[in-house]
Structure 1
Amino acid sequence: MQYTGARILIEALIEQGVDTVFGYPGGSVLFIYDELYKQRDRIRHILVGHEQHAAHAADGYARSTGKVGVCIATSGPGATNLVTGIATAAMDSVPMVAITGNVSTNLLGKDSFQEVDIAGITMPVVKHNWIVKDVNALAETVREAFIVAQSGRPGPVLIDIPKDITAAPGEWIPLRANGKGPIKNIESISANRLAAGITSEGEDNVLSARARRLVTRNRRPTFTDEDIDRAVSLLREARRPMIYAGGGVIISDASGELLQLVERLNAPVALSLMGVGAFPREHRLYTGLIGMHGTVASNKAVQKSDLLIAVGARFSDRVTSSADHFAKGAKVLHFDIDPAEVNKNVEAHAWVVGDIKKIITKLLKDLPQHIKTDWEGNIEKWKEKIPKAHHSGSSILHPRFIIEETAKRLGHDAIVATDVGQHQIWTAQFYPFTQPRSFLTSGGLGTMGFGLGAAIGAKVANPKRPTVLFTGDGSFRMNCGELATIGSYHIPILIVIINNTVLGMVRQWQTLFYEERYSETTLDRPPDFVKLADAYGLRGYRAENEKTFVEALDFAMKDLSSGCGALIDARINRDEKVLPMVPGGKPIDEQILI
């Protein structure tokens, strides 16, 4: 079939199971947007207010579902506006396909209007990128992009398409099953299936040679029986094993296997920020967050352990603080899909490289049903050490009250997005997460302004799940224009601004380490967020104490049930702190608790 490049692109996206794309049009993508208009009954486009939030929305879509998120931007500034969102996805291993337009091929490299080398710019923050200069290579490029984005350690990729390629005619050959015609079941030809190496002869015929090599590589086992035997030996010998789990557990859908491993070892388990939701909060062996804002129980257990088992986690500086003093008395056993993470930040005694679900499944077959440990009640004792800042005290409206009351209303099935700062850590500390893919936050890059776009993507992908954004007034100023997206599409998201009129986390550092010199961190300035919500067609409420917050929640829940977004401007004391806290460079068991 002869189609334009734009039509081939849309057909290839639909073939991969894409139902929604997020983007913003411009001159270089006009043919693509014209085709989106023609195919609007087959694929949905969400118009955002800024390209950065198209990337964040695609990111939230992916994090909440495990599917690939897709975003589109025009050339030049449209493409560069995606970069922060792409880098955010890269740091947190989120599968995303970013599609950018570019000037026509005869104008490339001539400093044409709205031309940038987006492939060169994004090279450090993508798994791979492509510039498509032949319309007949477009379909296989899209197929390859989805394989790369999802296979191994997931991450973002970028496809740059010059404008003339989107207009040029080309041959569209859909994926086929056994040479008997196009497959009608999209799931059977999705990248998930290709990444697993399940392809028919007919499908192989329309996959690029590189894509076939990628599929073949993904069939290969990444660990050996000897790797597992070495791990089992260490686990059998340990008397004080400790598990440190991260986002890799969620990505590999291994939460159930992690629970079995924890109970088999009778070992305490701590989570990184990216691992929140991978393990049930109320479980007796859960010790909470680890690292800079980790609990006393988590941080002490790591330092007292004789075997630290890192599961899908990368030993970031926010976890280890001083790597030289981290888990000094422990052997380190590292499970990760990415061999580049092994021995990068902390030296491992042994490791198993591969999919976390497969690794744990194999371990469980070889481990005894119960392994005795010597923690002897220490974990329970350390759990009792909670900072006074976790309680309301003299505060009229405390972050813990805000978060826990919201959780009671939304239930365990809610998706929770955050921006970055104090509210982010409070949410991880106080929200009762019970399942994976419920907590969406920028853990690696720490992107202020991430939250609202991510919440939009998550809610679009999961219309039946309640969705809330906890944000700070500093972060929310960076993305509040996306209220237009919520209002125009009637997306019922609850936004809770934990408003202390300052850049709270930076102010906390200034209080503790800079003799209270509050340089440029006070934000007692417009806008009035309640009036802003009204201007964008949302319901806005202000709360300054527990009573008015509960009342605002009551109203907001009614708004959500009617399909309207709602915003609560919750005013808290500007000197509330996130505790515990480990000063930079100190061992993680040297914590500030007061």
Structure 2
Amino acid sequence: MATTKRMTVSQALVGFLGHQWTVDGDVRERTIPGMLGIFGHGNVAGIGQALKQANVEQPDLMPYYQARNEQAMVHQAVGYARMHRRRATLASAASVGPGAANMLTGAALATTNRLPALLLPSDTFATRVADPVLQQLEQPWDIGLTVNDAFRPLSRFFDRVQRPEQLYSIALAAMRVLTDPAETGAVTIALPEDVQAEALDVPLEFLQDREWHIRRPLPERGPLARAVAAIRSAKRPLIVAGGGVLYSSAENELRALVEASGIPVGTSQAGGGVLDWDHPQNLGGIGATGTLAANRLAAEADVVIGIGTRYSDFTTASRTAFQDPDVRFVNINVAAFDAYKHGTQLSVIADAREALVALAVELEGYQVPSEYAERTAREKAQWDAAVDDTFAPSGLALPGQPEIVGAVQSVSAPEDVVVQAAGSLPGDLHKLWRVRDPLGYHVEYAFSCMGYEIAGGLGAKRGLLAAGDDRDVIVMVGDGSYLMLNTELVTAVAEGIKLIVILIQNHGYASIGHLSETVGSERFGTWYREYDPDARNFQGEEILPVDLAMNARSYGMKVVEIDPGASSIDDLKAAVAAAKASDRSTFIHINSDPLIYAPEGDGWWDVPVPETSTLASTQRAREQYLLEQANQKPLLG
């Protein structure tokens, strides 16, 4: 009986990936259920041929999905992984040189977000027999350096298959990192174009089903005991819930703990959905884009319990959110790197769900003081009322973005997923979007990549469909981000994958425009205007004659244009309702007034202002900056 099979490296890799399974408790699913790819001379005869052969012989082994941009392929994989709580992702195959380099942004995004994505960039000839090939980067001081070496600092795992025999150890090591919650991110296997097509005798064992069990480490007794003692001594405890709660499927355990103890919760962007918006202990987003309720309690908290959070500068309001001079931090994280952040001495290195189960037992009988519980309820009620006021009809011909968010919210279903990434929308959504489902909120805000929205939304929808879930995915995007990367609309049309895309036309960079004002740069370079050759800037009044609705229509999208006027919000609601009832993708275009802002949440973000300037606006901004900076702490606890 044969124990090996003659295959190329690409055929063996495709066969191997098609048999990998992630096991998380009772859940077992394909780790890499499909591959996105754009072919060129570097991979058309390697990975491209292997996918074609698999399509003919075993169509379900490794389904192929066509994409229009290599960066967008990785964004799709990340959106897919988010909906599968990191148990599954997609592979992305690119050609030599520019195709591979286009994936660099996606790699950085995946690693920053701690979300798995498998990258297969083609590389130049390992033999160098045709050196230099088309699209090869040459460095005289290091002939072996290629474009793919740029992936090294962006990946959680990187290796290059220089010889066919190396495939086995590299593929297995890559899978280990992809499925490790403490290490996951971009995993890159560089594939020289000649090696892709070389043959070897592959052990059949390499091609059999293999299971990768998600690690869910228990908290150690000592760190847990110290954490419990700190929480029990607290008068004003506060939980900061991050994405790790969702990736551990720990939302039920979190809800049980806060209902028993009364501890309020503020969420990071990645943690949106850990509790329904109207849960009594859910104060909403925390930090620079957080709610007034969450930030007021954060300022007075004496013990902060971070669960599955990276503590980014937005979450901590650039280390100004927590103002109690004796505040202590209990950091619960599966990754020691995050658990020890900001100088804490109360780190618990454990899975979020396992830690919450243990805390519930050890904290039995503990409840926050009644006056603190009353304060929590009062702050929440006041913020909820402020959001209601923000969502109230204004009748403006050009509504503000907050009112647009409220209109979309009002006609969305509880299970719908809103997808966003960059600009002013993440801040408004963090404050205003009323999440009603654990998977209902996906704002990519670790890398906050302009252009993620459509590709990431497509990946999210693809991931939901793979799980038999046909809920709607609503992509909200500003014109600036749309212009960065919109071509995956063609992919959605080609595959008949339904997306609802709402483009908010600001005629410029709304978020950076506002930030530019606060730092004294007076929105310079942030409007989309015709160039003024005399003033040498783009600060004129005449907006550009750009028609983004026509652009989307040219891709084959169904397009609805909302005309400015007193009925624009009602028209938007009707358009979203019709889009939800439709079975095809819909693109909705609405103009807004970018100078109308969401209610303040008292969060700050550290963006340094020049120490000296001849501009009065910059001088004033510097004075305000120094006042805010005085509240910063070098360490948190």
User: TM-score, normalising length from structure 1?
Assistant: 0.87
- Aligned-pair CA distance for 1:457: 0.9
**Aligned mate of 1:152, from 181, 205, 214:** 181
* Aligned residues of 1:492 and 1:565 also touching (Cα < 8 A): yes
Q: Specify whether residues 392 and 503 from structure 1 end up closer, same or farther in structure 2 by C-alpha distance, changes over 3 A only.
A: farther
Is structure 2 residue 252 aligned with structure 1 residue 235?
Answer: no
Is structure 2 residue 426 aligned with structure 1 residue 411?
Answer: no
- Aligned-pair CA distance for 1:392: 5.0
Q: Specify whether residues 358 and 526 from structure 1 end up closer, same or farther in structure 2 by C-alpha distance, changes over 3 A only.
A: farther
C-alpha separation in 2, matches of 1:368 and 1:588: 39
Encode CA deviations 1:52-101: one digit per residue, 9 max, x unaligned: 10110111111111212321111111111001011111111001111111
| Aligned residue in 1 for 2:163 | 134
C-alpha separation in 1, matches of 2:477 and 2:393: 20
Q: Specify whether residues 85 and 108 from structure 1 end up closer, same or farther in structure 2 by C-alpha distance, changes over 3 A only.
A: farther
Encode CA deviations 1:109-150: one digit per residue, 9 max, x unaligned: 955432352442112221111101222332442232122022
Q: Specify whether residues 582 and 360 from structure 1 end up closer, same or farther in structure 2 by C-alpha distance, changes over 3 A only.
A: closer
| Aligned residue in 1 for 2:635 | none
**Aligned mate of 2:244, from 237, 242, 248:** 248
Amino acid of the residue matched to residue 479 of structure 1?
A: L
Is structure 2 residue 48 aligned with structure 1 residue 33?
Answer: yes
Q: After superposition, where does 1:265-344 map in structure 2 within 5 Å? A: 265-323=261-319, 326-329=322-325, 330-344=327-341
**Aligned mate of 1:377, from 361, 370, 374:** 374
Give 3-state SS (helix, strand or coil) of 1:319's partner. coil
| Aligned residue in 2 for 1:62 | 81
- Aligned-pair CA distance for 1:261: 1.9
Gaps of 5+ in 1: 177-181, 197-217
**Aligned mate of 2:594, from 552, 574, 587:** 574
Q: Specify whether residues 297 and 70 from structure 1 end up closer, same or farther in structure 2 by C-alpha distance, changes over 3 A only.
A: same
| Aligned residue in 2 for 1:461 | 463
- Aligned-pair CA distance for 1:513: 3.5
C-alpha separation in 2, matches of 1:568 and 1:109: 50
Is structure 2 residue 455 aligned with structure 1 residue 449?
Answer: no
Encode CA deviations 1:448-497: one digit per residue, 9 max, x unaligned: 00111101111122231211100001101111222221222222100001
| Aligned residue in 2 for 1:87 | 108
C-alpha separation in 1, matches of 2:255 and 2:579: 37
Gaps of 5+ in 2: 21-29, 138-145, 530-542, 607-627, 633-637
* Aligned residues of 1:68 and 1:146 also touching (Cα < 8 A): no
- Aligned-pair CA distance for 1:250: 1.4
**Aligned mate of 2:127, from 92, 106, 114:** 106
Amino acid of the residue matched to residue 332 of structure 2?
A: F
* Aligned residues of 1:6 and 1:166 also touching (Cα < 8 A): yes
- Aligned-pair CA distance for 1:578: 4.0
Amino acid of the residue matched to residue 23 of structure 1?
A: G
C-alpha separation in 2, matches of 1:20 and 1:327: 48
| Aligned residue in 2 for 1:361 | 357
| Aligned residue in 1 for 2:201 | 171
C-alpha separation in 2, matches of 1:480 and 1:283: 36
| Aligned residue in 2 for 1:77 | 98
Encode CA deviations 1:297-342: one digit per residue, 9 max, x unaligned: 1111111111111111122111223426734332111111221224
Is structure 2 residue 218 aligned with structure 1 residue 261?
Answer: no
CA RMSD of aligned residues (A): 2.6
Encode CA deviations 1:530-549: one digit per residue, 9 max, x unaligned: 21122111111111357345
Amino acid of the residue matched to residue 306 of structure 1?
A: D
Amino acid of the residue matched to residue 488 of structure 2?
A: E
| Aligned residue in 2 for 1:213 | none
- Aligned-pair CA distance for 1:223: 3.9
* Aligned residues of 2:514 and 2:523 also touching (Cα < 8 A): no
C-alpha separation in 2, matches of 1:372 and 1:258: 16
- Aligned-pair CA distance for 1:8: 0.7
Give 3-state SS (helix, strand or coil) of 2:430's partner. helix
Give 3-state SS (helix, strand or coil) of 1:574's partner. coil
Q: After superposition, where does 1:582-593 map in structure 2 within 5 Å? A: 582-585=603-606, 586=628
**Aligned mate of 1:123, from 139, 149, 152:** 152
Q: Specify whether residues 167 and 546 from structure 1 end up closer, same or farther in structure 2 by C-alpha distance, changes over 3 A only.
A: farther
Give 3-state SS (helix, strand or coil) of 1:357's partner. helix
C-alpha separation in 2, matches of 1:250 and 1:118: 35
* Aligned residues of 2:339 and 2:348 also touching (Cα < 8 A): no
C-alpha separation in 2, matches of 1:487 and 1:517: 37
**Aligned mate of 1:52, from 62, 71, 74:** 71
Q: After superposition, where does 1:385-400 map in structure 2 within 5 Å? A: 385=383, 386=386, 393=394, 395-396=396-397, 397-400=399-402
Give 3-state SS (helix, strand or coil) of 1:417's partner. strand
Give 3-state SS (helix, strand or coil) of 2:48's partner. helix
Amino acid of the residue matched to residue 186 of structure 2?
A: P
* Aligned residues of 2:329 and 2:344 also touching (Cα < 8 A): yes
Q: Specify whether residues 258 and 327 from structure 1 end up closer, same or farther in structure 2 by C-alpha distance, changes over 3 A only.
A: farther
* Aligned residues of 2:7 and 2:200 also touching (Cα < 8 A): yes
| Aligned residue in 2 for 1:207 | none
C-alpha separation in 2, matches of 1:244 and 1:355: 15
Amino acid of the residue matched to residue 185 of structure 2?
A: G
* Aligned residues of 1:299 and 1:589 also touching (Cα < 8 A): no
C-alpha separation in 2, matches of 1:547 and 1:229: 59
More helix by share: 1
Is structure 2 residue 565 aligned with structure 1 residue 535?
Answer: no
Amino acid of the residue matched to residue 120 of structure 1?
A: D
Give 3-state SS (helix, strand or coil) of 2:16's partner. helix
C-alpha separation in 2, matches of 1:393 and 1:587: 36
C-alpha separation in 1, matches of 2:425 and 2:505: 9
- Aligned-pair CA distance for 1:435: 2.6
| Aligned residue in 2 for 1:429 | 431
Q: Specify whether residues 152 and 555 from structure 1 end up closer, same or farther in structure 2 by C-alpha distance, changes over 3 A only.
A: closer
Is structure 2 residue 518 aligned with structure 1 residue 509?
Answer: no
**Aligned mate of 1:6, from 7, 10, 15:** 10
Moved more, 431-440 or 57-66: 431-440
Is structure 2 residue 500 aligned with structure 1 residue 494?
Answer: yes
* Aligned residues of 1:449 and 1:475 also touching (Cα < 8 A): yes
